Amino acid sequence: MNKPATSCLIVLSMGFLTACSSPQISSRHIAQSDPAAVALLAASQKVHCKSALQNVRDVSVRYEGRWGPIGPLFQPVLVDKKFRGSSEERLILGAKRIVVQEHTGRAGKKTVVRQPGKVEIAYNGSRSNDDEAKRAAALVADAYAMFLLGPHYFDRPGVVLVSARDSVVDGADCAQILAVLRPGFGMATEDRVILSIDRATKQLRRVRMTLNGLESTRGAEVDVTFRDFRTIGGVLWPTDFDERIRVPFDLHAHHWRLLGLDLNRGFKGADLSVRGFEGRASRPAAPLSKISN
């Protein structure tokens, strides 16, 4: 199919699919947290083992995923499908969190270094200063930190929490929290996240988020559902992630699994750069199949 025909198809599809989208996250002004929402987040953090996470300084993970056939067409810069297939990622936790991702796809390797207030990217070893690509990479790195850390991610400055309407996720009744993040993901001034917390288990089952850090995705919303939790190093981690676009239409976007994870190797910021992983960060993440709970 030629490009004009493809463009026409996308425009027509957007017109049809907009009718299938779900209501947007509330944009009302929220000045302060309410106690019920703060208590619910704390209960979820306890179940996800906040006390054990406090002993974790660094995390090494490996992901493999599969993109949906249509959804990624609407967010090509954010998705960067040619490079984002599998990934090895390293996180240094704390107030000055560092996230470094080595994505591998059919076009080669993309390396992202995300630190507070800055982001660096390289494609196949060559640095890029493309502003839109850097904004997209910063958004993805921040979002993936949230997906991995779950309720613990919201234990940071600039978060306001209020109660939201209940929902059902995978057949489980969930209480919901609306979190307002200032700053938001990537270079966004603000983003909003709905957390769906299982009433029975207090596990975080789903997040729904705005994507304000990139001009091409501003106004869009996606959700990610978490499944197959495992306790490693005393912390409860999701290992299955399923993403759907919810606004401006409803389409499957991405499914990925966490296949490797290990903790506290002792690597430092100097071991993480756009050149890749060095020193104690260089070894691939330990396969989950070899880790006992």
The reply to whether 257 falls in a domain is: yes
Give the range of the structural domain holding residue 251, as residue numbers without chain letter. Answer: 28-285
The reply to whether 170 falls in a domain is: yes
Over range 181-209, report the average pLDDT: 98
CA angle 133, 10, 14 (to 5 degrees): 100
> What is the count of structural domains for the chain?
1
Q: Look at residue 45 in the predicted model and tell me its pLDDT.
A: 98
The reply to whether 177 falls in a domain is: yes
Q: What phi and psi, each to the nearest 5 degrees, are found at residue 245?
A: -75, 130
Whether the predicted pLDDT of 9 surpasses 90: no
The reply to whether 14 falls in a domain is: no
Under the banding of pLDDT at 50, 70 and 90, the label for residue 293 is low
Over range 8-14, report the average pLDDT: 43
The reply to whether 228 falls in a domain is: yes
The reply to whether 293 falls in a domain is: no
The reply to whether 19 falls in a domain is: no
Q: Residues 13-58: pLDDT tens digits?
A: 444 444 466 789 999 999 999 999 999 999 999 999 999 999 999 9
Task: Read off the CATH number of the domain in which 67 is found.
Answer: 2.50.20.10
d(CA 83, CA 104): 5
Are 90 and 267 contacting, i.e. CB atoms less than 8 angstroms apart? yes
Q: Which tokens is 110 given? A: 């993309």
The reply to whether 6 falls in a domain is: no
Whether the predicted pLDDT of 70 surpasses 50: yes
Under the banding of pLDDT at 50, 70 and 90, the label for residue 4 is very low
pTM: 0.92
Contacts of 118 (CB under 8 A, 6+ apart): none
